[in-house]
Structure 1
Amino acid sequence: MEQGLYEQLMNRMMHRQLNSLSPAEFDIGKDRLDAEEAKKYLSSYIASVTRKVYALKH
């Protein structure tokens, strides 16, 4: 599937930010994900952020 403009910009921005991090401080893996794997990582991340926001409000 072809990426839209937004996805292209976000990918470039993330790529630059990840490359600017110190390898001595961060262990960053850059592997391709299949669609199912990506869904799991994304839903886990969103759940984590949602829990943190909820905890701040209560």
Structure 2
Amino acid sequence: MPVEVARYYASLKVLAILPIELPYRLDAFGIITREGHLMSPGARQLLQQVRLASRDLY
């Protein structure tokens, strides 16, 4: 999750930020889905359209 979001939840004391440096960086956005869970038809369509649009941008 973005650092800004993590800091917000850490300020609410609902999570802690661990001082771990990961060997890679992600852009400020991404798509996360749950493995093994079916998406609704609307969610699948939205995901497909987002992926198509991102191909043109990136």
TM-score band w.r.t. shorter chain: 0.3 to 0.5
Larger Rg: 2
